[in-house]
Structure formats: structure tokens, C-alpha cells
Amino acid sequence: MSGKNDKFLFDSSLLYNLDFSQCVCAFNPAVTPERPGDGLVMRPLQIHDYDKGYLDLLSQLTVVGEITRSRFQDQFGAMKKAANHFVVVIEDVTVGKIISSATLLIEHKFIHRASQRGRVEDVVVHEGHRGKQLAKLMLESLRLLSIELGCYKLTLECDEKMRPFYEKFGFKLGSTLFLQLRFFE
């Protein structure tokens, strides 16, 4: 797969150059972003993923609602312009469907020597593909990518039941509270 491609949300070489010898999780069999498994391709989100079941996949995570192609394209364009959304997907190329997605969001800071904070968002693996190390591969990739992009920390929000999963990657419960104002679902 080529490195820079306008259809991609970000430069795919960022994914393929990650140093997987620095993983904190064990993989059996071994997988990497370049070799996620038979018939699978891991890559940045593409604008054409609208036609590859991307929104159906996200609906296995939370409420998605009706999103037209044009709204999807506008949102994709906004993310690409902002250049701080690293949405990674896995496609089952045997059927042309997106079967996993996870996002690294980068916040540029003045604090901590003007470095970056990373946030893990919207981690999902399609019901038919769970239990095959794909979430682990996505999380390791986002963790290594956040380091590569100069983040001083990486955070996420999750239910208590998901805590053991994220602890596999070294995430620890912080002492700060997570407050929210919810304007709509």
C-alpha cells in the first residue's frame, strides 16, 4: 500500500513504520499493522469507507443516527484539515467491509513543554471478528503512534467493565474525575 494518499485521513506510513518490538502486549500469532491477519488490511480511514459498512460498525459501539454521504464527506474533510484525528481501521478485503476502528485524537498543548496529549476514542471490533487480537492490535498501534507523535500522555474514558482490557496496555485509573455536559445523544 502506498504511503501518502489523498484519500487517506493521514499518511499511512506513520502506521507501517511503528516499532512493534516496543509492544507491551504479547501477540500469538504475531501481527503488525502491515500484517494484521489473512484477508485483512489495516490503514487510515478513507473517504470511501462510507460504502464499506463503516457507520454500521460504529453503531456496534454507540448511537450513530442517519448520516448522509455528503455529511460523512464533510466531516472527513474537517478531520483531515484539522490534521489531529488519526482514525485507524481494519478492512476485511475479502468482502470489502470495515471490521474495526479506533481513533487517536491529538491535542496540541502549551503545557508540558508545548507537547501533545493523546486521547483514545471510539474503539470497536465487529461482532463477527472479536476475540482475534484485533482490538489489541489497534490499541498497541495507537499507543505507539501517540509516542511517535510526541504525546506526553495518553488517556481514555471507558466503563468499569472495560478497565481490565485497557490495563493490558499500561493504562491506570487516574485520580481526576470525568465530568460531562451531554447536549444530545
Ligand X SMILES: CC(C)(COP(=O)(O)OP(=O)(O)OC[C@H]1O[C@@H](n2cnc3c(N)ncnc32)[C@H](O)[C@@H]1OP(=O)(O)O)[C@@H](O)C(=O)NCCC(=O)NCCS
- Residues in contact with ligand X by the rule CB under 6 A: 60-61, 123-125, 130-136, 158, 162, 164-165
Q: How far is the CB of 182 from ligand X (least distance, A)?
A: 17
| Closer residue to ligand X in complex, CB, 59/73 | 59
Output the CA–CA distances (angstroms, integers) from residue 27 to 20, 31, 58, 171, in the order listed: 10, 7, 25, 18
Q: How far is the CB of 134 from ligand X (least distance, A)?
A: 4
| Burial bucket for residue 169 (CB in 10 Å: 0-12, 13-18, 19+) | middle
Query: Hey, which residues does 154 pair with through a beta bridge?
Result: 118
| Closer residue to ligand X in complex, CB, 29/164 | 164
Q: How far is the CB of 100 from ligand X (least distance, A)?
A: 7
Q: How far is the CB of 165 from ligand X (least distance, A)?
A: 4
| Closer residue to ligand X in complex, CB, 106/135 | 135
Closest CA to 15 of 177, 127, 162, 148: 148
Question: And the C-alpha cell for 114?
Answer: 508545548
Residue 99, phi-psi category: left (phi > 0), alpha (psi -120 to 50), beta (remainder): alpha
| Closer residue to ligand X in complex, CB, 111/173 | 173
Distance CA 15, CA 99 (A): 18
Q: How far is the CB of 119 from ligand X (least distance, A)?
A: 12
| Closer residue to ligand X in complex, CB, 80/124 | 124
